[in-house]
Structure 1
Amino acid sequence: MSFDRKIKIAPSILAADFANFGAECEAIEAQGADWVHVDVMDGHFVPNITFGPATCAAIRPHIKGVMDVHLMISPVDPYIDAFAAAGADVITAHAEAGPHIHRTLQAIRAAGAKAGIALNPGTPASAIEPLLDMIDLVCVMTVNPGFGGQKFIDMTGKIRALRALIGDRPVHIEIDGGVDPNTALLVARAGADVLVAGSAVFRGGSASNPDPYGTNIRAIREAAEGVYA
């Protein structure tokens, strides 16, 4: 997994057909997805329950590229090794999920995965300043975590602050929540390079009719890349 700042589209399988995950992962990659984003929720840290390591292990053979696992769980540390063993390329933990995020990031890297840190809308960019040399990705939540399909919360000021803090470090800025062709322009302009999108990608298509996925992915990418045109 090499680093570059090209726009990457990371469809969230939270919006996919739960009964057909393998085919859905293959379909979105064939239609141009760069990463596959897996939203893990525990019903404790966030008010929803989704997937565990077994689901990640089951879909891993169907993913050729990056499997990006976003842990919206607390505690995090007891589950890191299981998600790494399931094939996660990136494991992201929330800064708010426990008192020892430094230890969590150490554990993620020790398990062989890239380390991400996620910030809820109420958490400032400055929260990660002491951790910048321990992370490969910062995920800016542009909704309150827990459910797909929520309305975008404007975090462009935070994104710009993170971009300035990161400087020339090889750290991705990922956006998760309410991303569509309209909001993609805003966040890319502010400095984001990985865009997670759920309903905006999967709307109108299916694993057996994947062309709408490609249309949706291209629309988001073109909007974001228009910043650099």
Structure 2
Amino acid sequence: MAVQISPSILSADFARLAEEVAAVGNADWLHVDVMDNHFVPNLTLGLPVVESLLKATDTPIDCHLMIEDPDRWAPAYAEAGAGSVTIHAEAVKAPVRTLRQIRSAGARSGFALNPATPVEPYEDLLGEIDMLLLMTVEPGFGGQPFLDVVLPKVRRARSLIAAHGGQVWLQVDGGVSASTIERCAEAGADVFVAGNAVYGADDPARAVDHLRALAEKASPLIA
């Protein structure tokens, strides 16, 4: 099991997006938050920007859809070439069908839960997903403080994943920084979304390496 760092471009300078992406060429993924001002109270970017980003980088794109009606829109992001497409439990109406459509289009299927959404009701979906995303802030805006209350859920999710064969990645998103990533790794997360902790640093690439090293040191998943 490898630790993976996915810098969130929500914290990047949108006027210099191609340069900001190039600045974290050592990252495992690029996390792209798609928000529609309906499911969450913010409006960011959509499919055309993702298509442009795919032309500007070889780093795989990790699309996090914080939108209404992901059943309609998610497959298009996979078809465009995103490496991973994540939909929210609170928004999707036909999760099995949509997750399978994401996979059939060639992307990894992700399933996200807000902080107050329990993981146990979705245990039967673990066979349909490649990554479970647990939000560690309320979705919608970057720069929020990390919610420690989610850590027990991270531990429970890791136990459920292990019981099903351990093939699902466990991602955390929100408030992940040098002061919180070790707690997330110790609880069982292995994919880490970091926005301000990367793009707010003087050297974003060095910040990626530092976060990865901290997570690797704390993770019980790495022998």
Q: Deviation string for 1:175-200 (max 9, x for gaps)? A: 10000011100000011010000011
Shift of 1:65: 2.5
Shift of 1:89: 0.7
Is 1:226 matched up with 2:217? yes
Q: Which moved more, 1:85-94 or 1:193-202?
A: 85-94
Query: Which residue number corresponds to residue 79 of structure 1?
Result: 73
| Conserved? CA contact 2:34–2:67, under 8 Å | yes
Query: Which residue number corresponds to residue 18 of structure 2?
Result: 22
Q: What SS is found at the alignment partner of 2:24?
A: helix
Q: Which moved more, 1:83-92 or 1:181-190?
A: 83-92
Shift of 1:98: 2.8
Distance in 2, Cα, partners of 1:120 & 1:178: 14
TM-score by length of 2: 0.93
Q: What SS is found at the alignment partner of 2:23?
A: helix
Q: What is the aligned length?
A: 217
Query: Which residue number corresponds to residue 5 of structure 2?
Result: 9
Q: Deviation string for 1:151-188 (max 9, x for gaps)? A: 10111111111111111231100010000011100000
Shift of 1:36: 0.5
Query: Which residue number corresponds to residue 113 of structure 2?
Result: 119
TM-score by length of 1: 0.91
| Conserved? CA contact 2:71–2:92, under 8 Å | no
Shift of 1:220: 1.3
Shift of 1:87: 1.6
Structure 1 unaligned regions, length at least 5: 206-211
Distance in 2, Cα, partners of 1:178 & 1:64: 26
Distance in 2, Cα, partners of 1:69 & 1:193: 17
Query: Which residue number corresponds to residue 182 of structure 1?
Result: 179
Q: 1:137 aligns with which of 127, 131, 134?
A: 131
Letter in 2 for 1:184: I
Q: What SS is found at the alignment partner of 1:54?
A: helix
| Conserved? CA contact 1:140–1:174, under 8 Å | yes
| Conserved? CA contact 2:135–2:173, under 8 Å | yes
Query: Which residue number corresponds to residue 216 of structure 1?
Result: 207
Letter in 2 for 1:25: V
Letter in 1 for 2:195: G
Shift of 1:127: 2.7
| Conserved? CA contact 2:33–2:66, under 8 Å | yes
Distance in 1, Cα, partners of 2:157 & 2:178: 22
Distance in 1, Cα, partners of 2:13 & 2:100: 34
Letter in 2 for 1:197: A
Distance in 1, Cα, partners of 2:121 & 2:85: 19
Is 1:171 matched up with 2:165? no
| Conserved? CA contact 1:23–1:62, under 8 Å | no
Distance in 2, Cα, partners of 1:194 & 1:63: 20
Letter in 1 for 2:183: L
Q: What SS is found at the alignment partner of 1:187?
A: helix
Distance in 2, Cα, partners of 1:195 & 1:42: 23
Q: 1:62 aligns with which of 56, 64, 83?
A: 56
| Conserved? CA contact 1:157–1:190, under 8 Å | yes
Distance in 2, Cα, partners of 1:198 & 1:222: 17
Distance in 1, Cα, partners of 2:135 & 2:206: 25
Identity %: 46
Structure 2 unaligned regions, length at least 5: none
| Conserved? CA contact 2:74–2:87, under 8 Å | no
| Conserved? CA contact 1:9–1:221, under 8 Å | yes
Is 1:35 matched up with 2:29? yes
